[in-house]
Amino acid sequence: MTAMSKDDKPRALVLGSGTSTGVPLIGCHCHVCTSDDPRDSRLRSGVYVRWRGFAIQLDVSADFRQQALRYGIERIDALLITHPHADHVLGLDEIRRFNTIQQSRIPAYARDFTLAGISRTFGYIYSPQPDQEGMYRPHMDFVEIKDAPMQIGPFAVSSITLPHGPVRSTAFKLTCEGRSFVYAPDCSVVEPQFSDFMCDADCVMLDGLRERRHQSHLTMADATGALCTCKVKRGILTHIGHDVKHVDIAKQLPPNIEPAYDGMEFEW
């Protein structure tokens, strides 16, 4: 299967909608982890966006190889990485296969704190030594994103940093032909600047971990409230834990907001 063969409008494919542990959790036998609804099986977060033949991968989770095989992903023209936590970057080594397929280096765009984390975890990718030149490793160009928007392929890309508990994460906004998609899978507080960033977006995918409080993530109620306040046209909750079944989350949400699930495709 070739991922998202239709290319007349920008399309997004949810590769993973789960939190850092994934769902089901190892050794857990709760009603969500044992659910027979495939929407309750949640790999780690990531989204694949494509338009006019140009493909952007948003985060590369530890499940990325499995996701790429499952959804037939065979091309990546650029990466956008929100932050350097394991569940968002441990798939970086898989990029070497795309180097081989495409016979090219692949750029990765991120904020300075994300690049610093990647350099510590993936030194052999970020700053290889001469004796590593013969290794089968990813060939990537790391590009620091700052406050100014950038043109990446056919997309205008802007970003803003977000509180993620004691550290920071990034929200990305992809805009094309006057329509915008915001991706913010890890956020603990919706600050005024982020509200402005989301305001009137056509689609926002936002952290909605669970109903109970967490120091590093929004609750579903907080995320829903922020999306409604910002009057986004379509809201999608992601980075979901194992506390609530998909069908039960959907029942609680307003008509223009829904929970993500692995394999979900949408246009904006």
The domains found in the chain, sorted by start residue, are 11-267 (3.60.15.10)
Give CA 23 to chain center in angstroms: 16
171, 185 Cβ separation under 8 angstroms: no
CA angle 102, 107, 113 (to 5 degrees): 150
According to the model, what pLDDT value does residue 6 have? 54
According to the model, what pLDDT value does residue 8 have? 75
In the chain, at which residue ranges do the beta strands (DSSP E only) sit? 11-16, 46-51, 54-58, 78-80, 106-110, 140-144, 150-152, 155-164, 167-176, 179-184, 203-207, 235-238, 257-259, 265-267
Whether residue 54 has pLDDT greater than 70: yes
ω into 24 cis (within 30 of 0): yes
Q: Is 240 exposed, middle or buried (0-12, 13-18, 19+ CB in 10 A)?
A: buried
What confidence tier does 64 reach under pLDDT thresholds 50, 70, 90? Answer: very high
- Global confidence as pTM: 0.95
Which contiguous run of DSSP H or E holds residue 197? helix 192-198
Whether residue 4 has pLDDT greater than 70: no
Rg of the Cα atoms in the chain:
18
Among candidates 39, 44, 98, 92, which has minimal Cα distance to 67?
Answer: 44
Q: Where on the phi/psi map is residue 19: left (φ > 0), alpha (ψ -120 to 50), or beta?
A: beta
Determine the longest span between alpha carbons in the chain, in angstroms: 56
pLDDT mean over 107-134: 94
The one-letter amino acid at 225: G
The one-letter amino acid at 214: H
The one-letter amino acid at 9: K
Q: How far apart are CA 161 and CA 182, in angstroms?
A: 13
For the stretch 169-184, pLDDT in tens is: 999 999 999 999 999 9
For the stretch 208-242, pLDDT in tens is: 999 999 999 999 999 999 999 999 999 999 999 99
What confidence tier does 3 reach under pLDDT thresholds 50, 70, 90? Answer: low
Q: How far apart are CA 156 and CA 268, in angstroms?
A: 14
